[in-house]
Structure 1
Amino acid sequence: MEISNYMREEHRSCDEAFAKAEQAASGGDFEEAFKHFETFMIDTLNHFAKEEEILFPAFEETTGSTEGPTQVMRYEHTQVRNLLEQLKEAIDAKDKDRFFSVADTLMILLQQHNMKEEQMLYAMCDRVMAAQAADLVEKMKER
């Protein structure tokens, strides 16, 4: 549960920053929207780096599999990165319609992505890497 709990908390923190960005954009305050979006983007990309540089390689080494869930998660991370760029462009242009169009797509993707990680991948990590979970979480906290 140690890995699941840590990573789930990071998801929630990112979700909160995204919600604040949406709220500010809704009111037309793109300066405030950018501030929260920047926090969301930095935290999300840092979360992805923790997974891609620490968690996924440890999982793949332990299970002997580089196919499957980690491959799918990496692909989805690429999709999210592309949407983050589009969202930044919409904020820079102060284009509320474009912002919410991209934000809706991003939110759907992230909800599905996070659900797969939380219900499947992190649970698998907790099971197969229980002995190294504390060390892995510590490495991710240091990243």
Structure 2
Amino acid sequence: MALQPTKEGFDLGIVTSNGDEMLAFYRDVLGLEFEATLNMEQVGIAQMHRLWADKSLLKLVVPVADVPTGATGGITGATGLRYFTFNVGNFEEVMTACEDAGANIIWRRLEARPGVVVGMVEDPDGNWVEFIDNPG
């Protein structure tokens, strides 16, 4: 059996208790395209902010009830989903915008392997977000 995707890209959900700060980071700092904020209390979601990065959808989910926070610390903080990556053509601009917004910068510019330059930042919840310098 092989996965048969019905759309390009993927959807990623981040559960947060900091909906406003997370929305501001991904929409205003990174410039993801804001689609809508949905209320789906029938499934325990007070707000779902939906933002597009090309053909992938980022869902910032604020639950109705308080939920425990997950492990922080990026790649070596715990097992499971620890970071996600954007390939960008404006690497320096993105990193500067994150710095100007006060995001914690993990790596400003690091050659991860020959010819591959990455930057890593923390979003307002401490999730790691990687940017790969890919001018196209």
Note whether the superposition's TM-score is higher than 0.5. no
Q: Choose between structure 1 and 2 for higher RCO, CA contacts under 8 A separated by at least 6 residues.
A: 1
TM-score scaled by structure 2? 0.25
Give the alignment's TM-score, normalised by structure 1.
Answer: 0.24
Q: Which has the higher strand share?
A: 2
